[in-house]
């Protein structure tokens, strides 16, 4: 069973998030990934940790799955819209500033088997 969690329009560039996501992809358990993301010094670690937490919460609250049976299947960092801003400078010129955003998707996989439609 797949559990999906997304966070859109994160005000961090995709490149910075991908650097942290690449280091987390090697970790199999989401609980170990969370402990790693809490101590990493980058801001992207905190943002990515929140998305992993929501995926775990979706599995435990909505689907009644055991958190120890979850595995990280996929972490996707996609590019969101870019906000175009600028700084006026001398002689009537304009320096553009691009504020990039990202979309984060975390997919967890459960090894636990459940009967279809069971509410336990």
- Domain region containing 56: 2-110
117 inside domain: no
The mean pLDDT of the chain is: 93
Query: How large is the average pLDDT for residues 45-70?
Result: 94
116 inside domain: no
Q: Which residue has the higher pLDDT, 30 or 114?
A: 30
Q: Which CATH number do you get for residue 54?
A: 3.90.470.10
Maximum CA extent, the chain? 71
Nearest to 30 by CA among 62, 64, 60, 63: 60
What is the pLDDT confidence band of residue 111, given thresholds at 50, 70 and 90?
confident
Q: Is the pLDDT of residue 115 over 90?
A: no
What total of structural domains would you count in the chain?
Answer: 1
How many of the other CB atoms lie within 10 Å of CB of 10? 20
pLDDT tens by residue, 72-103 = 999 999 999 999 999 999 999 999 999 999 99
């Amino acid at each position: 069973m797949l559990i999906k969690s997304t966070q859109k329009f994160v005000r961090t560039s995709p490149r910075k998030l991908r650097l942290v996501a690449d280091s987390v992809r090697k970790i199999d358990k989401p609980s170990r990934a969370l402990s790693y993301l809490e101590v990493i010094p980058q801001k992207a670690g905190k943002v990515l940790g929140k998305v992993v937490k929501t995926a775990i919460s979706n599995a435990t609250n909505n689907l009644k799955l055991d958190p120890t049976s979850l595995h990280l299947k996929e972490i996707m960092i996609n590019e969101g819209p870019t906000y175009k801003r600028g700084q006026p400078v001398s002689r009537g010129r304009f320096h553009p500033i691009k504020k990039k955003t990202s979309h984060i998707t975390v997919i967890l996989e459960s090894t636990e088997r459940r009967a279809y439609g069971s509410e336990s």
